[in-house]
Structure 1
Amino acid sequence: MKSIIISFTIFVLMIFCIIFSVNYLNHICTRLQDSNLQVEKSIQLNSWDEAYKNSQNFTTEWKKYSPKLAIFSDHDEMEDISNEMRKLTQYINHRDSEESLSSTNVIQNSLKRIMEMQRLNIENLF
């Protein structure tokens, strides 16, 4: 009887930890997506100084949250976002709107994929 109670307690604890970690991951990705959208809006308005400032803010947030995201997600996705972030800064410096918008789109899609891969559903469990 004791082992059943201990096993059930561990199971319930694991479920709560999984739910907490998925919610935390979604919160981080949403913050990063919002920051990336600010960069995109600045580029669309041809406000290059503001776009550069917003890209620096995104870089700061990325450096803050990327170690935590690395626990949950594929490292290839993390590397893709880091590479696109570096490209984005250079495209903004050279005022290349097409490439800048393309990089913001790649970052946005990578963040969406991270959230989708960690979503609680049957497909991800098995």
Structure 2
Amino acid sequence: MKNVYLAFSIFIIMIIGIFLSINAINRSCDQLQNLNCTLESYILNENYEDAYTLSLDYIAQWKSDSKFLTIYIHHEDLDYVDNEILKLTQYIKTRDKSESLATVHSMKYLIDHIKSHEKVSISNIF
């Protein structure tokens, strides 16, 4: 009977851990999406100094979040975001509005992609 209780306890702890990790991923992705929206508004208003500063903050936020995300996310997705962030800083530095906006849009898509892959759904289970 002890084995049944132990197995059930481990199962419950595992389920709780999964939901806590999903909530942490969603929180990180929401923070990054808020930064993306702010970056987009700065670029649209051609406020490149603030956009560059925010892009550097975005890099710092991404580096701290990606350490946790590497446990759960495909490394290719993380590499794509890394590349887009680095491109964005250079596009902002050269004041290239169209490329900056395209890169921010790409980053929004990539963060949404990460978030959607970690949702609890039938398609993600099988």
For this structure pair, what is the TM-score category when the shorter chain's length is used for normalisation?
over 0.9
Give the C-alpha shift of residue 32 in structure 1.
1.0
Equivalences, count: 126
Deviations 1:78-113 (A, max 9, x none): 000000101000100111110000000111110001
Show the counterpart of 1:103.
Answer: 103
Taking structure 1 as the reference length, the TM-score comes to 0.97
The TM-score normalised by the length of structure 2 is 0.97
Moved over 3 A (4+): none
Give the secondary-structure state (helix, strand or coil) at the position aligned to 1:71: coil
Q: Distance in 1 between matches of 2:115 and 2:59?
A: 19
Instruction: Give deviations 1:35-77, integer Å, cap 9, x for gaps.
Output: 1211111000011111111111111111111111111111111
Q: Which runs of 5+ in 1 are unaligned?
A: none
Q: Which residue of 1 aligns with 2:38?
A: 38
Question: Superposition pairs for residues 1-20 of structure 1, below 5 Å?
Answer: 1-20=1-20
Which residue number corresponds to residue 53 of structure 2?
Answer: 53
- Superposed CA RMSD: 0.8
State, as a whole percentage, how many aligned pairs show the same letter. Answer: 34
In structure 2, the residue matched to 1:91 is 91
The amino acid across from 1:118 in the alignment is: E
Give the counterpart letter for 2:117 in structure 1. Answer: M
The one-character-per-residue Cα deviations of 1:5-59 (angstroms, maximum 9, x if unpaired) are 1111111111000000000000011111111211111000011111111111111
1:95 is paired with a residue whose SS is coil
SS of aligned partner of 2:70: helix
